[in-house]
Amino acid sequence: MSNSCRTPASTWCRLGESSWGLWEPQDGHFEYAWMDRVIARMHQAGIKVILGTPTYSVPAWMWKEHPEIFITRFGGQTVTFGYRQNTDLANPTYRRYCERVIRKILEHYKDNPAIIGYQIDNETSSGRAANPDVQAGFVTYLQNKFKTIDELNRVWGLNYWGQRLNEWSEIPPQQGILNPGWKVEWERYQQWLTTDFLSWQAKIVSDYKRPDQFITHDLAGPPRSEVNEHDISSSVDIVAVNPYHGTQDQFDGNGSSLQGDYTRSLKQTSYLVTETNTQTIGWDSKGQFPPYDGQLRLDVYTHLSSGANMVEYWHWHSIHYGQETYWKGVLSHDLEPGRAYAEVSRTAHELQKIGPEIVDLKRSSKVAILYSNDSYYGIEFMKFSDRANYRSVMQQLYNTLYRANVSTDFVFPDSPGLAKYSVIVVPPLYVASDELLLRLVEYVRGGGNLLLTFKSGFTNEYDTVRWTMAPGPLREAAGFHYQEFSSLAQPLALKDDPFRAGTDNAVSEWAEFLIPDTAQPLAYYDHPFFGRYPAITRNHFGKGTLTYEGTVLSDKLQEQIVSGVLQAAGLSGPDQKLPLPVRVKHGVNRSGKTVHYFLNYSSAPQAFPYAYGAGSDLLTGAAIAPQQQIMLKPWDLAIMEEN
Amino acid sequence: MSNSCRTPASTWCRLGESSWGLWEPQDGHFEYAWMDRVIARMHQAGIKVILGTPTYSVPAWMWKEHPEIFITRFGGQTVTFGYRQNTDLANPTYRRYCERVIRKILEHYKDNPAIIGYQIDNETSSGRAANPDVQAGFVTYLQNKFKTIDELNRVWGLNYWGQRLNEWSEIPPQQGILNPGWKVEWERYQQWLTTDFLSWQAKIVSDYKRPDQFITHDLAGPPRSEVNEHDISSSVDIVAVNPYHGTQDQFDGNGSSLQGDYTRSLKQTSYLVTETNTQTIGWDSKGQFPPYDGQLRLDVYTHLSSGANMVEYWHWHSIHYGQETYWKGVLSHDLEPGRAYAEVSRTAHELQKIGPEIVDLKRSSKVAILYSNDSYYGIEFMKFSDRANYRSVMQQLYNTLYRANVSTDFVFPDSPGLAKYSVIVVPPLYVASDELLLRLVEYVRGGGNLLLTFKSGFTNEYDTVRWTMAPGPLREAAGFHYQEFSSLAQPLALKDDPFRAGTDNAVSEWAEFLIPDTAQPLAYYDHPFFGRYPAITRNHFGKGTLTYEGTVLSDKLQEQIVSGVLQAAGLSGPDQKLPLPVRVKHGVNRSGKTVHYFLNYSSAPQAFPYAYGAGSDLLTGAAIAPQQQIMLKPWDLAIMEEN
Amino acid sequence: MSNSCRTPASTWCRLGESSWGLWEPQDGHFEYAWMDRVIARMHQAGIKVILGTPTYSVPAWMWKEHPEIFITRFGGQTVTFGYRQNTDLANPTYRRYCERVIRKILEHYKDNPAIIGYQIDNETSSGRAANPDVQAGFVTYLQNKFKTIDELNRVWGLNYWGQRLNEWSEIPPQQGILNPGWKVEWERYQQWLTTDFLSWQAKIVSDYKRPDQFITHDLAGPPRSEVNEHDISSSVDIVAVNPYHGTQDQFDGNGSSLQGDYTRSLKQTSYLVTETNTQTIGWDSKGQFPPYDGQLRLDVYTHLSSGANMVEYWHWHSIHYGQETYWKGVLSHDLEPGRAYAEVSRTAHELQKIGPEIVDLKRSSKVAILYSNDSYYGIEFMKFSDRANYRSVMQQLYNTLYRANVSTDFVFPDSPGLAKYSVIVVPPLYVASDELLLRLVEYVRGGGNLLLTFKSGFTNEYDTVRWTMAPGPLREAAGFHYQEFSSLAQPLALKDDPFRAGTDNAVSEWAEFLIPDTAQPLAYYDHPFFGRYPAITRNHFGKGTLTYEGTVLSDKLQEQIVSGVLQAAGLSGPDQKLPLPVRVKHGVNRSGKTVHYFLNYSSAPQAFPYAYGAGSDLLTGAAIAPQQQIMLKPWDLAIMEEN
């Protein structure tokens, strides 16, 4: 039984998600009494229940009767009982069992007044299943997408190495495949398995759901390459996320904020935090770092300021046996109140008071990051570096914006409405259709400021390199072309340290041999051979600008480039003048009032002037005037609501 | 044919242990003539024979006829022909073959006067076999231990993740199991397989053994987590051990002494060294370090001073082919006398002379280490550090005592008679029953001095965390409680360097947030957050003391803590004042006289005053008077026998 | 379709090697039109064709119909579709398919005038196949070689560990085998599989080959331990090699020259370069280093000066999809001329002009390296170091000679005519028959200068250690014996720095305890224990000398030792006085004139006097006089032809 509750001022809790063996101890024999009792007690205490479908952890009898529903990976490795998320989501027997247990449970509880919503499964992914039915499904998926085997031969270039296929039945198991086009399609299909499974569950739950109830699914640590969160989100009423975060000296709100910004962007509205850490996490020593005083509370406000409408913990009390013994809860194993309990209690009581002022916060961002999961895979298949990759560049760009206190959305390759952003930041957009690239060109032409990074535009949507001069359709907007590129064996300096980065004046890993057509070089490599090529360029195109990074920048250099793009877009202001450890976030609440969060991610007190309109401090009730000094204690915060 | 002999003054040798293919070249066809000849020649030369059962290396025809007796590991990996110790010890076919070959050999040799004892198998372990019959045996083992499936569900907490079992037949293969309670039971069962196999062999051999013969088994490098040496030792008349040791600059007698102390403690009496290194060891470069002049001889006396009654080598001459080509013997491949031969010869002639004075040495220790193999596993399943573990803390504690020249026994969770020790040192006793913890409490109450380390008492005998405040039943004797703990991302200093350790004033890896009830803090962390908790405490309880380390200490700090505990227990004396590389060991010989070994583990000569009663130097025959200076050459020793 | 062409002044190209799926899109259905068109166009353009047999990349339908022909490795891991070189070369079904497709293609093209030669397969190896038929073949191979099972028991020492075999049918799968004699025989058998497969293909092709056509096979990066290039070369008319090389700051001609010298030595005549890099290589970041200006051209002349008669690239243009997207060709993906194209074009036009003067270059070497692949394996099975091995010592010796501008051949254990070399350099000749060792002894006796390294002579041709004092039959010529050896835990200095190597005065990894009989010690270890043994010795024996290295030398020390041996052999001259980055190579061309290559492997210009007879600079046409200064630009060269 899962039991993550916001407590002791708890109003919601999650129940039931990994308890199939209790619901159905024998094949076809169902029991509810154990849960009836729990829900009744919750209802009595005024705690609302999110009920989970129990499908991600199957009972032992199912392993005994149907070992074939468990995941088989490439090379024949099988995932066995003892793990969770160990089933082939496409297996019809598994689906049949899932449907029966879900319908039984929902039939039993559909009128229960304590239940306010349903969570389908938990942190679902396809687990890289390569079972025979998955392989068969992949062939069907390919037939639907490519229609003829000759089209597949053409798109994947299978004449190469003599691998052309003569008919659909010849498609071999994917395990030895090195062809990147083939591999990227397999990854899309794996993602689709999860999307399809959750959408199928959501439809079953919809047969029972009351109008006052919602369906959610809790995502694990997005962006997560093996699932397509954007597609999944269309199957649920509200998206939930389980953002585990660093603590002690590793806590700066960055991870929680990135996951929050990403999750909020999926449906462009508020979201739920269904799990986050209290005391410690992990199976072993990796996460045994209980938070310093104040960090638990500060993390809750980090989520709320990002647009969360709820924060639940995994979990209420620490478990005495099993895999997650050291994934400690609000209470330690002794079940007595302690330091974590006290801090959670304080926070919950604050929220009882100020909740209505901060719930349903509307965030508005002028900057977006274009996230391309296909590009992540395309680059992984043909790495340009052992140290840097799609994820590391994306993370560096997000961190740079986060540290600059710039509110950031995420957009996706098929997101409409790019023009509403002043700046779009693009991690290596390695896999992209002509259509997407042309939309970016139009974005710039129309006045947008695009910050584009190396490898963008190199391959099309099938991970096939373009036949035209790089960067393909982006060439005119980018104002340069290139034919060559090189790994960098050692970091290089930029000539004459144009951004005054001092010891951080370093680029590394990769260098494209950019030949400007109309672009202005912003920096050159300091090297006898590479020095003939610019490292960074900017092109004015239409009403906008396109800034391009042909190499991997140091954090300091990235900060300078991003800052320059933001300034050019008119996005600088007082938020960029706060002390380093202070983050600010803004939003509009249900009353239409503007709310400002000021959060101190450090063990030192921080002071700075308040740069917004007169209002009041929601936590203390004190009035706040423009330019008045705000004092924040270590790991503390202030929430100002403008009048 | 194995052929480890003490030579050239050899009196014993081991024969036959890995020669099944010679005894039984075809299924059911036995040959003895080859061995008859060898034993006859040994007898002629006055060399006594320990005959081994050949069961740990099966013939090729058995692989061909019964591949199913070879080990299958988790995930289906099979161990094939070419290795030794590659069979499933529980397999009935294998057992049948073993019994037949053992009975045939013993029937043939039972009256042979050259044979003084039998060695059953060799360095046996179950090899992590997961064959179907092992799995079936595990279920039976669980049924016998837990009686009902509901008890198993309860003890292992299987409701968690919905893994509850409905009947015994549902127990899945163990390979995916993450549940620590389940895993620790599997480890105990694996250990039991070896204990049972050896006990079964011993019973067969007993059918033939004459009253003047003994049964032994040679343990590999104890303590070895995959076997239970304490249980095994009850099946044999005398325990043997194969302690391979460091050489050149890595030789300090530590490894040989630890294994000796541990082996002597199993039956609390003398033991045999059946194998140790001569020239080089290992399959590859790891052990190609022949000893410096004197080290071979010094190692023999290291063993004898620890309580060994025999030292044999692996092996007589270096092998020209096969796996152990570089596991060189007393003779090199050229079979001509060399440096090793000369030193072995010198030592053997010394032993011919002084043997009766030093054999059957009675050791007596006032300090013991409590060794818990269950705790080793419990911590491995949920590691608190990548650098430290149960073994590293145990080793540090042993080393500290060894370097302090303190005679140390090992005791085990079920050892009676703890009260005879003045000090008991306890590596992290993570897995322990209430009964054991209460015996430790009684030990302290009765006047014992307990040095206890972090994580002790945290889980019960099923590796389940206790529901009570840590450290559970130890709380009153320890004088503190705690609810929280943290990994340490970096080492911390102790505040104000209370033990004057200078640059070694460092603790690391783990910190328990100790809250003293009655205990006296001995040291605090030097850190803004952790600094509120003591790192080390001492509590006076009853007539004794309990000193507790809530963190991992540097070697220097451990030395200080141990030294403090020893002093408090009145265990300091002249042995703690010897030059650093000199070890001293004491015992009482068969004549009731006290014998003192002084051993110099260094390339430099050492001098120090003799602090015991008048006597004589056994090796030189010279008289020795109290306070007379002893001079030791590099890698040399003196043995003083009091009058 | 493979398409490596020398272009734009291309005269030859390779076609067809990995295109089975196009030749035979369905089982038994053959198509030629696609290739007819390509060859016709090549012929039209005056480009000659080397046609490859397509056997190394099988079609998907073959996987579907006959998965059993794919490689199964030890432990059951199977190699699947998607890779190349994934078939069991011994499988009769695969052989049948191979023969049919080869005969079909050759029947079709045998009269085609564009085709000047055939390439059989590509970079073939047996892929460590352990399929059932491979195992059966191994048993047959053993029967043929050892005749009786008792002889096998004797040679491999199978009584040890009781592994003796009673009949051939008992030979188990090799996967668990630790016995080095057994393992080295398995490696020889694996090598034989490739030799046999290529010899079989060559015989089929011979049925169609016209007298004006040749058969070749392209070796991958020799020396390659898993194949026996020396045996393979006897099946082909001319040997080809695919030497990929370092670029940018990693380009010094060393790799290309080693592979060239080795390949030239196989048939002691000119060879072909069928593949080498143009822009970038590799699946990922490892080889994404396009050459600096001049390096592509310099590499062509590196090959020609080593004795190559052709240089082809892999490949003409970069591939847009598939595994080798980043293995870029002469053209980038945009298919437009670029930097690489320009440099290739320049070089090709030069070759059109000077080709006749430099083709069929006769090289003549006074120094040879004795290469023993068996010794490579023997040492790998029983490593003496994790850092050094047979390959690293061989490489160091080659590099030392290369940097000293000494022309070097390779000889093999069965090479006749050793006496023609003044110096033979021997990497650790660990596995060697008495016969070979005695030929080396005779070589020295007759006046040769042998530079021998540690471990030489230790085992016989079955990888069995000799029963005689090391170094066995070499003892008299070497003038020392030894019984012991040790790994070196840390590097040691040589006492008194006898070679004035300063900070490079260091030996490491391994030390043999040499006891001189007649040899003169050249250096001793600086160490209290090891210092009693010489590290390097020289013995005058008959009319020659034998210099012995009992340890691993630093590069600087190796340089001194090799230099000393060369001087003693009278092999020093002006080539040893050139600036460090300049290599010189000499040969005699078809007109009988001497040709001198001077190649500058650096980014700096180099100047030095010309030390040979009057002649002319082939590239510029300018005359050159003795002692005239030669000026080389960065990564440039000069070719002087004597009058």
Mean pLDDT, contiguous 10-residue spans, chain B (643 residues)? 40 92 96 97 95 96 95 87 91 98 98 97 96 96 97 95 93 89 97 98 98 97 96 98 96 97 97 96 86 98 97 94 94 97 95 94 97 98 96 98 98 96 98 98 98 98 98 98 97 98 98 98 98 98 98 98 96 95 98 98 98 97 97 98 96
Chain C interface, mutation test: which of A146, A156, A389, A487, most C Cβ atoms within 10 Å? A487
Q: How far is A176 from chain C (nearest CA, A)?
A: 5
**How far from A570 is each of A538, A566, A579, C86, CA to CA, in Å?**
17, 6, 21, 59
How many interchain CB pairs under 8 A, A with B?
156
> C-alpha angle C130/A162/A131, rounded to 5°?
60
Asked if A388 and A475 count as a contact pair (C-beta separation under 8 A), the reply is: no
Beta bridge partners of B216: B119, B238
Asked if C429 and C393 count as a contact pair (C-beta separation under 8 A), the reply is: no
Pair of tokens at residue C392: 């690293």
> C-alpha angle C378/C381/C385, rounded to 5°?
95
Q: How far is C94 from chain B (nearest CA, A)?
A: 28
Is the omega angle on the peptide bond into residue B8 within 30 degrees of 0, that is, cis? yes
Chain C CB contacts of B26 under 8 Å are 166
**How far from C89 is each of C126, C195, C241, C409, CA to CA, in Å?**
6, 10, 21, 31
Predicted local confidence at residue C173, as pLDDT: 85
Chain B CB contacts of C165 under 8 Å are 21, 60
What is the pTM (predicted TM-score) of this model?
0.95
How many interchain CB pairs under 8 A, B with C?
157
Q: Note whether C163 contacts B21, CB cutoff 8 Å.
A: yes
**How far from B156 is each of A59, A321, B181, CA to CA, in Å?**
15, 6, 5
> C-alpha angle B581/B583/B588, rounded to 5°?
170
For chain C, the average pLDDT equals 95
Beta bridge partners of B583: B599
Give the pLDDT band (50/70/90) at residue C228: very high
Other Cβ atoms closer than 10 A to A570:
11
Asked if A319 and A275 count as a contact pair (C-beta separation under 8 A), the reply is: no
Instruction: Compare all CA atoms of chain A with the CA of B76 and give the residue at the minimum distance.
Output: A77
Chain C CB contacts of B25 under 8 Å are 164, 166
Give the pLDDT band (50/70/90) at residue A6: very low
Q: Which chains are within 8 Å of B by 3+ CB pairs?
A: A, C
Pair of tokens at residue A394: 């994306």
Output the DSSP codes for A9-78: S--EEEE-TT-HHHH-SBTTB---HHHHHHHHHHHHTT-EEEEEP-TTS--HHHHHH-GGGB-B-GGG-B
Predicted local confidence at residue A599, as pLDDT: 98
Please tell me whether residue C295 adopts helix, strand or coil conformation.
Answer: helix
Nearest to C179 among B20, B323, B339 (CB): B323
Chain C CB contacts of B61 under 8 Å are 166, 170
Cα B612 to chain centroid distance, Å, stands at 31
Nearest to B384 among A83, A250, A285 (CB): A285
Nearest to A285 among B386, B468, B484 (CB): B386
SS3 for C473-500, per residue?
A: HHHHHHCEEECCEEEEEEEECECCCCCC
Predicted local confidence at residue B416, as pLDDT: 94
Q: How far is B401 from chain A (nearest CA, A)?
A: 29
Q: How far is B161 from chain A (nearest CA, A)?
A: 5
Helix B180-206 vs helix B92-109: angle between axes, to the nearest 10 degrees?
A: 30
For chain A, the average pLDDT equals 95
Q: Please state, in angstroms and rounded to a whole number, the distance separating the CA atoms of residues C59 and C87.
A: 11
Q: Note whether C82 contacts A172, CB cutoff 8 Å.
A: yes
Chain A CB contacts of C336 under 8 Å are 469, 483
- Which among A337, A275, A360 has a CA at the least distance from the CA of A312? A275
Amino acid at A8: P
What would the mean pLDDT of C615-627 be, rounded to a whole number? 97
Q: How far is B338 from chain C (nearest CA, A)?
A: 7
Give tens-digit pLDDT for A502-511.
Answer: 999 999 999 9
Predicted local confidence at residue B54, as pLDDT: 97
Predicted local confidence at residue A8, as pLDDT: 35
Predicted local confidence at residue A164, as pLDDT: 92
Q: Note whether B487 contacts A80, CB cutoff 8 Å.
A: no
Q: Please state, in angstroms and rounded to a whole number, the distance separating the CA atoms of residues B572 and A248.
A: 43
Among the residue ranges A83-97, C72-86, C89-103, the one predicted with the least confidence is C72-86
Asked if A586 and A238 count as a contact pair (C-beta separation under 8 A), the reply is: no
Q: Note whether B161 contacts A279, CB cutoff 8 Å.
A: no
What would the mean pLDDT of A618-641 be, rounded to a whole number? 98
Chain B CB contacts of C509 under 8 Å are 285
Chain A CB contacts of B384 under 8 Å are 284-285, 288
Chain C CB contacts of B3 under 8 Å are none
Instruction: Compare all CA atoms of chain C with the CA of A509 and give the residue at the minimum distance.
Output: C285
Please tell me whether residue B148 adopts helix, strand or coil conformation.
Answer: coil
Q: Which chains are within 8 Å of A by 3+ CB pairs?
A: B, C
Chain A CB contacts of B489 under 8 Å are 248-250, 289
Q: How far is A46 from chain C (nearest CA, A)?
A: 58
Q: Is the pLDDT of residue A560 over 80?
A: yes
Q: Please state, in angstroms and rounded to a whole number, the distance separating the CA atoms of residues B555 and B506.
A: 9
Q: Note whether B465 contacts A289, CB cutoff 8 Å.
A: no
Q: Please state, in angstroms and rounded to a whole number, the distance separating the CA atoms of residues A178 and C214.
A: 34
Chain B CB contacts of A77 under 8 Å are 75
Q: Note whether C322 contacts A161, CB cutoff 8 Å.
A: yes
> C-alpha angle B374/B375/B376, rounded to 5°?
90
- Terminal C-alpha separation, chain A: 45
What would the mean pLDDT of C14-36 be, rounded to a whole number? 95
Give tens-digit pLDDT for A375-405.
Answer: 999 999 999 999 999 999 999 999 999 999 9
In this prediction, does ipTM exceed 0.90? yes
Instruction: Compare all CA atoms of chain B with the CA of C169 and give the residue at the minimum distance.
Output: B64
> What is the rounded (10 degree) CA torsion for C389, C394, C397, C403?
-110
What would the mean pLDDT of C235-261 be, rounded to a whole number? 97
* DSSP label of A484: -
How many interchain CB pairs under 8 A, A with C?
157
Predicted local confidence at residue A458, as pLDDT: 98
Q: Please state, in angstroms and rounded to a whole number, the distance separating the CA atoms of residues C118 and B92.
A: 60
